[in-house]
Amino acid sequence: MSAPVIEVQGLKKYFSTPRGMLHAVDDVTFKIEEGKTLGVVGESGCGKSTLGRTIIHLHEKTDGKIFLDGKDISDLKKKELKAAREKMQIIFQDPYSSLDPRQTVDATIREPLIVSRRYTKAEIDEKVEALMDLVGIDARLQMAYPHELDGGRRQRVGIARALALDPRFVVCDEPVSALDVSIQAHVLNLLKKLQQEKQLTYMFVTHDMSVVRHISDDICVMYLGQVVEKCEAKELFRNPVHPYTKALLSAIPSTDIDNPNQREILTGEITSPINPKPGCRFAARCKYATDACHEPQVQEEIAPGHFVRCCRCHEIG
């Protein structure tokens, strides 16, 4: 078997703040195989976007290793880093603010092709047209500005730009959360179609549980910078083990009016990610918490491919 497209080991990203070190991503380890999607879910501020951005080197990591196609890219500099970055792209959350309002659709998609210095003018013209066709933007909109486009089309422009240099790995950072449901479905279908055609590998960051269940092969649940549970998507919804995952899944408002969820209402607010204590970060809100939870937690594989970071997972699972 070939190497996974993306592998991270013990990845850490801390931000220095006046009040101390903010542990945005703390000791995250996972791999994603070619053509697969890893969904990353969690509350706002849990570090899911920072994780994606650190992997593709938009943030400089604090510690840990990142591998792309088996090659260690953790500490690349300049030229090599530029080459690696071409293989890793990102689709941003808000298509209203992630596009330059003074650049046309054409210029937005063209820019990465020019920067790469790999193509002639004629090749670039051809590629821009092909990309617009690929993501389903009418050729008549080539010279349109972002304000002339609706949210769905803007997000398609963002996708075309991300795919311009044929990346291996794409971080999708909440790509549909700013869109209405009827438009959201178009964009999700497009992302899936492109993945199949181009064997793309996705990391899909979202807080929408129905979207993540639909699009992911595997899912990581993050809480305050740490992965608390990771397993196959269906397994997570069938058999959640970590108390936070359970609470998260039970909080989803179900559209099944005959069988409403037995909601587990969490009390308390998220504890601060600044200088966190060594124990389980969920302990303050967890109804199963005991003294052992204030010791550092280790990730355990409780079933093949099902990882949980909770010392009481066997008792409560």
Partner 1 sequence: MSENMNSPYLSVKDLFVEYYSNDQTVKAVNGISFEMEKGSVLGLVGETGAGKTTVAKSILRILPDFGCQIKSGEIYLDGQDLLSLKEEEMRQIRGNKIAMIFQDPMTALNPVMTVGDQIFEVVKLHNDMTDEQCKARAEEMLETVGIPKERYEEYPHQFSGGMKQRVVIAMALACDPDLLLADEPTTALDVTIQAQVLDLIRDLQKKFNSSMILITHDMGVVATTCDNVAITYAGRIIEYGNKEQIFHHPTHPYTIGLFGAIPSMNGDDEWLHPIEGLPPDPTNLPVGCSFSPRCPYVTDVCRQEGDVPKRITADGHICFCYNMDKVGKEEQ
- State which residue, 112 or 136, has the beta carbon closest to partner 1: 136
- Pairing of β 37-41 and β 201-205: parallel
Q: Based on CB atoms, which residue is closest to partner 1, 181 or 298?
A: 181
Cα distance between residue 82 and residue 67, in whole Å: 15
Query: In the structure encoding, which two tokens stand for residue 139, read together?
Result: 């050729």
Shortest Å distance, C-beta 274 to partner 1? 14
What gap in Å lies between CA 40 and CA 51, rounded to an integer?
9
Q: Using the 8-state DSSP alphabet, how is residue 141 labeled?
A: G
Shortest Cβ 156–partner 1 spacing (Å): 13
Residues that bind partner 1 (CB under 8 A): 43-44, 150-152, 180-186, 188-189, 192, 207, 209-211, 213-215, 237, 247-248, 250-257, 260-261, 263, 265-266, 269-270
Q: With beta carbons less than 8 A apart as the criterion, state whether 310 and 280 touch.
A: yes
Smallest distance, partner 1 to C-beta of residue 54, A: 21
Looking at beta carbons only, is 46 or 162 nearer to partner 1? Answer: 46
For residue 203, give the amino acid letter. M
Shortest reach from residue 285's CB to partner 1, in Å: 9
Nearer to partner 1, 190 or 203 (CB): 190
Q: Residue 183 CB, nearest distance to partner 1 (Å)?
A: 7
φ/ψ (deg, to 5) at 93: -65, -50
Nearer to partner 1, 74 or 250 (CB): 250
Burial of 197 (0-12, 13-18, 19+ CB in 10 A): exposed
